[in-house]
């Protein structure tokens, strides 16, 4: 976490080690300078008024760094702000476990493959339908886990098309008949 102290005129008067780690600037390079000089762009009216939100800074090496800022005014004896204590950190990413849980529990079959058509993820519906655990499939090449048939080769060809072109593919197929329930129609988005 970064901490900076800014006076009422907008000059940096304090700079933490965390601020140095996020921005690359030492206290000696920043203290006494206008805080606005760290910003990569202009402040929006909403952000300037609240002093809170996501800001983009320019790191010492030139790259852009987003930080999530919380500002607390330092109130003088006259009741007016004499400056601000700023705490900042990189914006937190969505909890990956929550996203994985949503995908895992999706009511339709969902599979994620890498660019070489190896399994990365299978939803619960897929695992139940395949009768295999995730540990049996993750990392394996698609064709090593299915029968060698026209529809599986066509599926693989479409997966490769997505990788090669970078464009989504809609794929409709009728497969069957499986031993129990007859033909199945599939509509797949890749």
Q: Looking at residue 166, which CATH number applies to its domain?
A: 3.30.450.20
Domain that holds residue 50: 2-89
Considering the domain architecture, whether residues 181 and 154 belong to the same structural domain is answered as yes
Shared-domain flag, residues 79 and 150? no
Residues 102 and 184 in one domain: yes
Tell me what pLDDT residue 23 has: 93
What per-residue confidence (pLDDT) applies to 46? 43
- pLDDT (0 to 100) of residue 170: 87
Of 42, 60, 89, the residue at which a domain comes to its end is 89
Tens digits of residue pLDDT in 160-187:
999 888 899 888 877 655 555 566 677 7
Q: Do 121 and 58 sit in the same domain of this protein? A: no
Note whether 105 and 43 are same-domain residues: no
Rg of the chain over Cα atoms, rounded to whole angstroms, equals: 27
Token look-up 């476990």 returns 97
Do 74 and 15 share a domain, yes or no?
A: yes
Phi, psi dihedral angles at 99 (to 5 degrees): -65, -45
Whether residues 70 and 127 share a domain: the answer is no
| CB distance 164 to 158 below 8 Å | no
Q: How many domains does the chain have?
A: 2
pLDDT value of position 48: 45
Identify the domain boundary among 89, 115, 130.
89
Region label for 96, one of left (φ > 0), alpha (ψ between -120 and 50) or beta (otherwise): alpha
- Is there a single domain that holds both residue 39 and residue 56? yes
* 138 and 166 both lie in a single domain: yes
Task: Give the pLDDT of residue 89.
Answer: 87
- Whether 83 and 100 map to the same domain: the answer is no
Last residue of a domain, one of 58, 89, 120: 89
The pTM assigned to this predicted structure is 0.48
Residues 24 and 102 occupy one common structural domain? no
pLDDT of amino acid 184: 66
- Residues lower than pLDDT 70 in the chain: 42-51, 93-96, 175-184
Number of continuous H segments (helices) and E segments (strands) in the chain: 7, 9
**Residues 68, 80 contacting (CB under 8 angstroms):** no
Nearest to 65 by CA among 7, 102, 18, 28: 18
Q: What angle do CA 140, 143, 149 make, to 5 degrees?
A: 160
Q: What is the pLDDT of residue 47?
A: 45
Q: 138 with 185, same domain?
A: yes
């Amino acid at each position: 976490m970064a901490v900076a102290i800014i006076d009422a005129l907008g000059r940096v008067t304090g700079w933490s080690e965390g601020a140095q780690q996020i921005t690359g600037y030492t206290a000696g390079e920043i203290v006494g300078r206008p805080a606005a000089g760290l910003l990569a762009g202009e402040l929006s009216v909403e952000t300037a008024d609240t002093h809170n939100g996501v800001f983009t800074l320019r790191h010492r090496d030139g790259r852009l760094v987003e930080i999530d800022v919380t500002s607390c005014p330092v109130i003088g004896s006259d009741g007016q702000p004499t400056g601000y204590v700023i705490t900042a950190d990189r914006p937190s990413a969505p909890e990956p476990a929550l996203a994985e849980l949503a995908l895992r529990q999706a009511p339709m079959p969902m599979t994620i493959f890498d660019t070489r058509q190896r399994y990365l993820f299978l939803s619960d519906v897929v695992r139940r339908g395949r009768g295999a655990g995730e540990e049996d499939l993750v990392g394996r090449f698609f064709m090593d886990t299915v029968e060698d048939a026209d529809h599986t080769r066509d599926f693989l060809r479409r997966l490769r098309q997505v990788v090669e072109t970078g464009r989504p593919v809609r794929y409709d197929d009728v497969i069957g008949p499986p031993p129990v329930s007859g033909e199945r129609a599939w509509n797949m988005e890749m």
